[in-house]
Amino acid sequence: MKHATQTPPPRAGESRRVRVPAPRSQGAGSAHRAPARRSGRWAAWAFLAPMVVYLLAFYVYPLYRNVDLSLRDYTVRSFVQGDAPFTGLANYAKVVRDATFGPALWHTVVFTVVSLAFQFTIGLALAVFFTRSFRLSATLRALFLVPWLLPLIVSSSTWSWMLNSESGVVNAVLAAVGIDPVNWLTSPDWSLWSVTIANIWIGIPFNLVVLYSGLQAIPSHIHEAAELDGATGWQRFWRVTFPLLRPVSAITLLLGLVYTLKVFDIIWIMTKGGPSDASTTLATWSYRLGFGNLLPSFGPGAAVGNLLIVIALVFGLVYIRAQRRQGAA
């Protein structure tokens, strides 16, 4: 978006381009006789065609199949024979009435809100810290990216072992300060917090990098002016930096929201959503229904998944709106 506003208006460029005679080496036989404008348009679609086909085949069609799954009574056998009866919204009704639905929705909300709050606050504090220049600043900032780049199975299994009740390093540290061991992953009171802690850790780098670049974009003379007016460091942050950072903050939070709603690997690897649904979210529930049992229930699984898509899309559209507004400003 930023780039687009800096380049000359597209129309001007296009009309200039159009006057250039159509090149003969084009390949498409009819191209060199057709008017130049037409050939340009053909070329544009020729370059786009693979992606359009790709989107239809690998996004639209799987999503269509997913909706179809959610409206039928599928079993493994009917998958092969292709004779699953159409049941309308029965799967959705079944899912919403399920005892897991309420807790899963609530866990999704808690997991998302708590993750976002801590990722953002810690990320912003670190971003402010790193805007001051000091030795090794760039190197340390690059090292902060490591947790974000690691495969999720790696970070999740590391956290699993760190939070292990008997032999985990976290309980060893707690014991050293006189706190009784906590059953991080095996107690229903703690499992949701454990996966949230791991998710916060994974999300901090993203927040740090994006907010840091947002801070870099604020002209330094604004700070200098505030400093001359006698604003303290804290006042400068709350009254100047934070308001100016608002568009970037909004986008960071919304992107974080859309990402966090999707989180599946971390929870599945650390707790499988357990014990007894204590850390089940909509994403892990959907997976468990579809793939986590010997007898898969694809229909309800797809129904949960589609509900999750709707939630993600609602926030996603908010995100796009916010971004459009920012792009226009």
Partner 1 sequence: MRTTGRGWWRTGLGVVFTALMLFPVYWMINVSFTRDQDMRKTPPYWFPVDGTLEGYRAVLEQQLPYLGVSLVVGLGTVALTLVIAVPAAYSLAKLRPRGGGVLGFLLLIAQMIPGVIMAMGFYAIFLATGVLNTVPGLIVADSTLAVPFAVLILAAFMSGIPEELLQAARVDGAGVLRTFWSVVLPVSRNSVITVSLFAFLWAWSDFVFASTLDQGGGHQPITLGIYHYIGNNNQQWNAIMATAVVASIPATVLLVIAQRYVAAGVTAGAVKD
Contacts with partner 1, 164-183, as mask; x by CB under 8 A? --xx-x--x--xx-------
Helix/strand/coil (H, E, C) string of the chain? CHHHHHCCCHHHHHHHHHHCCCCHHHCCCCCCCCCHHHHHHHHHHHHHHHHHHHHHHHHHHHHHHHHHHHCECCCHHHHHHCCCCECCCHHHHHHHHCCCHHHHHHHHHHHHHHHHHHHHHHHHHHHHHHHCCCCCHHHHHHHCCHHHHCCHHHHHHHHHHHCCCCCCHHHHHHHHCCCCCCCCCCCCCCHHHHHHHHHHHHHHHHHHHHHHHHHHCCCHHHHHHHHHCCCCHHHHHHHHHHHHCHHHHHHHHHHHHHHHHHCCHHHHHHCCCCCCCCCCCHHHHHHHHHHCCCCCCHHHHHHHHHHHHHHHHHHHHHHHHHHHHHHHC
Residue of the chain from 93, 113, 146, 225 that contacts partner 1 (CB under 8 A): 146
Number of residues that bind partner 1 (CB under 8 A): 112
Asked if 245 interacts with partner 1 (CB under 8 A), we say no
Does position 222 interact with partner 1 (CB under 8 A)? The reply is no
Least separation in angstroms between CB 166 and partner 1: 7
CB of 272 to partner 1, least distance (A): 10
By CB under 8 A, what part of segment 308-327 binds partner 1? 308-309, 312-313, 316, 320
191 binds partner 1 (CB under 8 A): no
Q: Is 246 near partner 1 (CB under 8 A)?
A: no
Binding mask 11-50 for partner 1 (x = CB under 8 A): --xx-xx--x--xxxxx------------xx-xxx-xx-x
CB of 73 to partner 1, least distance (A): 14
Q: Is 328 in the site for partner 1 (CB under 8 A)?
A: no
* Out of 64, 106, 238, 242, the residue judged to bind partner 1 by CB under 8 A: 64
* Residue closer to partner 1, measured from CB, 16 or 239: 16
Residue from the set 73, 183, 262, 274 that interacts with partner 1 by CB under 8 A: 262
Site for partner 1 in 276-295 (CB under 8 A): 283, 286-287, 290-291
Residues in 84-123 at the binding interface with partner 1, rule: CB under 8 A: none
Taking the complex as a whole, the smallest distance from the CB of residue 117 to partner 1 amounts, in Å, to: 18
